[in-house]
Structure 1
């Protein structure tokens, strides 16, 4: 079971979009065979806010579309605590609503397809997927396209 906390700091998204994002991430969790109780948050922000976060945490002073902060990365020397009753805290996904709208227009598909893409992209990062080299990028992008397409959010 995946517990998802959704926050719309922009107050621009209607309940239907938030519900669809939650359904999509629940679907992605099943596709990725997440069986342990897990939690994550998705926060929708402005370009200004995501630029602040990007600058503070990544040293890149510009707006971006999505940032993920995984909480389950093990640090060398860190003690692992195993407790079946404690949910796995996967992390936080932060999505710029403005960037999602810009990119949906640019790519010629719906806002829902773009925000869904960004949510799944962020979710896969929380699970350890990355795109730092060609092989990893191919694996991650193939996986996210598979999830989006089978969920019904195909590119236009």
Structure 2
């Protein structure tokens, strides 16, 4: 699994260690049986950059917390065998730590937890999950929470981050 994390936000150190974001991404991709040679990039950006992306691609003003840019439209593996896995570039997840920080403060949890949740959310979007309809939302947010909690449990941690994050 090739996961690259780039901190272009200007925040040093990052509010969530780049290695932890990469480890989480690998965990999510492994759990969802994505091809082991799939490629993913997670980039942390400042509000100005996120605002420009948000306006260009969503036609919405101002920064948002997370955006996903799929490439090869990879999907989770479905069967027991790996014969349904497709190799390729999953795409890019773009995070805005300053927006995540404000959301975490309102929700009462750590900004690092918020960034982990948003990373999971972004990856699920890359894999074709959505939350436009109520049933889709339940499926996506249940899976998002399960993936994050299992990742943190493996590290002996918990989170108070809500599964509803990433709605914007």
Q: TM-score, normalised by structure 2?
A: 0.80
Instruction: Name the residue aligned to 1:77.
Output: none
**Equivalent pair of 2:95/2:119 in contact (CA under 8 Å):** yes
> 1: CA distance between counterparts of 2:89 and 2:12?
25
**CA offset digits 1:81-122 (Å, max 9, x no partner):** xxxxx9410011110010111111111111111000000000
1:58 and 2:61 aligned: no
**CA offset digits 1:15-49 (Å, max 9, x no partner):** 77101111111111111112341001111011111
Structure 1 outlier segments of 4+, above 2 Å: 13-16
In structure 2, stretches of 5+ residues that fail to align are: 75-85, 153-157, 162-168
> 1: CA distance between counterparts of 2:113 and 2:148?
8
Q: 1:45-124 counterparts in 2 under 5 A?
A: 45-73=45-73, 87-124=87-124
Q: TM-score, normalised by structure 1?
A: 0.85
The alignment yields a C-alpha RMSD, in angstroms, of 1.9
Instruction: Name the residue aligned to 1:81.
Output: none
In structure 1, stretches of 5+ residues that fail to align are: 75-85
> 2: CA distance between counterparts of 1:122 and 1:67?
6
**CA offset digits 1:25-78 (Å, max 9, x no partner):** 11111111123410011110111111100101111112110000111239xxxx
Query: Judging changes above 3 Å, is the alpha-carbon distance between structure 1 residues 13 and 42 closer, same or farther for their aligned structure 2 residues?
Result: farther
**Equivalent pair of 1:36/1:88 in contact (CA under 8 Å):** no
Quote how far apart the aligned CAs of 1:154 are.
2.1
Q: How many residue pairs are counted as aligned between the two chains?
A: 144
> 2: CA distance between counterparts of 1:14 and 1:139?
34
Q: 1:28-47 counterparts in 2 under 5 A?
A: 28-47=28-47
Query: Judging changes above 3 Å, is the alpha-carbon distance between structure 1 residues 64 and 127 closer, same or farther for their aligned structure 2 residues?
Result: same
